[in-house]
Structure 1
Amino acid sequence: GGALEPLLVGKIAIEHNVLWLTSDFNSTVSQPAYVNEILDRLVIEHPRIYGMMLYVEQPFPYDLEANRIDVHSVSARKPLFMDESAHDWRLIRLGRQLGWTGVALKTCKTQTGALLSLCWAKAHGMTLMVQDLTNPMLAQIPHCLLAAHAGTIMGVETNAMQFYPAASAPEEAVHPGLYQRRNGQVDLSTVKGPGFGYRLEEIKRQLPEKAASFSK
């Protein structure tokens, strides 16, 4: 049933003393009533698991303009975060009108786009988080810097060191605290200097041969 998976995950989380959970439907739902039913069952039958849930993420189709679903009933139960739908600040504006209350910022959607979305969302009282699509190498630095300055609901999501840690070895030699999680934290203290504080001159990365070149 719909509530079975969060129930199983919740029980495992309690056994391992996990404090918080999140629920991501990944754009698979078209009816708010489906999400509401799961949340209502949890709050009645398993209130501890319900209380552990920080937010619900992107249950509904990513194309908000084509799927203008009123989601106020869901966000009345739990904070409701846009992820795939949050392409730019204009769509965040539409999302807020429809009842979404939070935004997942991602630098992979461009740094400027993330900053514009951050500004609009904050100015209109929306909650923020910063997520990644496993940002490796230099991409980890502006990603974590964005989270450090955004004022997020809970830190930053950063997965590259989990999925392919060796990819960032040259950068890790200069910024060791950014490419390892210690006690659930990353350390930005080595990020300093001009620009994003990359310290490029110290990073010994060998770039591959050019795939193509073009003349003027």
Structure 2
Amino acid sequence: ADDMRASHDILAAEDERAQVRQDPPSELEDAWPDESLSIPLAQPALQSRADECLRKRPRQPGIYFLGERREQDERAEPMPWLAALVCSSAFDLALHDAYGELLRRPTYETYGPEFMSHDLSAYLTPADGAGVSFKGRYPADYLVFPRPKALRAWHLTGGLDPLDESELTGAEPDDGYPVLLSDWIERDGLKCLKVKLRGNDAEWDYERLVKVGRIALSHQAEWLSADFNCTVTEPTYVNSILDRLLIEEPRVYGMILYVEQPFPYDLEANQIDVHSVSARKPLFMDESAHDWQLVRLGRTLGWSGVALKTCKTQTGALLTLCWAKAHGMTLMVQDLTNPMLAQVPHVLLAAHAGTIMGVETNSMQFYPDASLVEAAVHPGLYRRRNGQVDLSTIQGPGFGYQIHRIERALPEPEAEFGE
């Protein structure tokens, strides 16, 4: 979803023309996690679904259209819900952006009764016994205004990333960017570190958290999150690591702000009671949180927070945000390594959501030069400074891309709408 790009031209309120340009998603393994289906077989199906979104989308809320079309799909290998969301996400973002452009308003100012035909009760159902009603409520009621001008930036510490010189192999890139964790912290002034763990090797996971925590403490970083990567099957695995940290490394334990998705992403097939984990630390759904219905199920199992992603559609992220906030759940906005224009709606979602802390943003770690053209207009979005990303250049209608100032050569439109 990171590499799918969409742009639009709005000529006038009475004469709307949208141009959509797309590239195929690069994270096919995540969108379609079926070992029996190779990428060459999956990609045509994903491309076909994206084309269908572009050319045949009816005048109805896209979340309904997407679900109905998936149910009607007669492919031998049904498309996973996540893959369908990824295919729709670029077009969905373009629609939200175009609506703001049409109204000459920032998109986040269009999520109230003045510009929406239905309240949230048309889309959301409260949990039984929660005392929540969505009648007369709109997304704007759950968003943060005014948005913050800057956000704390979370750095991704991968399982294979060298933490210190003893872990260097000699195969590291020599491209002028940091390699060691301490160098990243010093250069970007990082305060928040996400730690990727294995989830099937408790001793390795414990030692990794301790080592990252000690590096963080020695370089004035303040917060950690623990991502167990969907591989844990028993809550006791996570609990034992947290309990050991509390006793042996209390400062590192105290730095852990939340725990992310330890358990398998297919929540319906793996309905594990996780209340014991969320009693220790906030426990966030990520890969499991495809839509608000799954979040509703997760809440009954003990999950206390939700990670939102624009690659699962802006529409879906907003609906999940509203449902979760109404039911007292905490929010985070996670990255799928969003480069170029994708970074803008990503950080805007975090700014208006009111997250537990800041936003995860890591495209500057993995392909920093990919966004040099956009960085000329939005320098604070593509380089973390003082541990933050700066949103001050996001201005104007729609998502505030200022796309006509960005000298990005895009391919020809896949489809055009209007005259």
TM over 0.5: yes
1:49 Cα offset (Å): 1.1
Q: Who is 1:149 aligned against? A: 352
User: Corresponding residue for 2:231?
Assistant: 28
Give the match's secondary structure for 2:236.
helix
Aligned to 1:77: 280
Q: Which amino acid aligns with 2:305?
A: G
Offset at 1:209? 5.9
Aligned position for 2:317: 114
- Judge which range, 180-189 or 116-125, deviates more: 180-189
1:94 corresponding residue in structure 2: 297
- Structure with more relative contact order (C-alpha pairs < 8 Å, separation 6 or more): 2
Distance in 1 between residues matched to 2:408 and 2:346, nearest whole Å: 19
Aligned residues: 213
C-alpha distance after superposition, 1:119-170 (max 9, x if no partner): 1111111111111111111111100111110001111111112221221122
Cα shift at 1:22: 1.1
User: Are the structure 2 counterparts of residues 139 and 33 from structure 1 closer, same or farther at C-alpha, using a change threshold of 3 Å?
Assistant: same
Greater alpha carbon shift after TM alignment, 34-43 vs 166-175: 166-175
Which secondary structure state, in structure 2, belongs to the residue aligned with residue 196 of structure 1? coil
Distance 1:99 1:138, change over 3 A: same
What corresponds to 1:136 in structure 2? 339
Among 244, 248, 264, the alignment partner of 1:41 is: 244
Q: 4+ residue runs of structure 1 moved beyond 4 angstroms?
A: none
Gaps of 5+ in 1: none
Q: 2:406 aligns with which of 192, 203, 210?
A: 203
User: What amino acid maps onto 1:149 in structure 2?
Assistant: H
Match for residue 9 of structure 1 among 212, 221, 232: 212
After superposition, give the CA deviation of every residue in 1:6-47 in whole Å (9 maximum; x if it has no partner).
Answer: 222222222223211111100110000111111111111221
Corresponding position: 1:54 with 2:257: yes
Equivalents in 2 of 1:9, 1:175: separation in Å?
Answer: 31
* Residues 187 and 14 of structure 1, relative CA distance in 2, 3 Å threshold: closer
Among candidates 361, 368, 372, match of residue 165 of structure 1: 368
- In 2, Cα distance between equivalents of 1:90 and 1:147: 21
Q: Could you tell me which amino acid in structure 2 is paired with residue 8 of structure 1?
A: K
Residues 186 and 9 of structure 1, relative CA distance in 2, 3 Å threshold: closer
Compared CA separation, residues 201 and 17, structure 1 to 2 (3 A): closer
For normalisation by structure 2, the TM-score amounts to 0.49
For 1:197 and 1:203, how far apart are their aligned partners in 2? Answer: 12
Tell me, in whole angstroms, the C-alpha distance in 2 between the residues paired with 1:175 and 1:9.
31
Which blocks of at least 5 consecutive residues in structure 2 are unaligned?
1-202
| Amino acid in the other structure paired with 1:194 | P
Instruction: Give distance in 2, aligned partners of 1:49 and 1:178.
Output: 29
Corresponding residue SS for 2:284: strand
Report the structure number with the largest CA radius of gyration: 2
Mean CA deviation greater in 201-210 or 190-199: 201-210
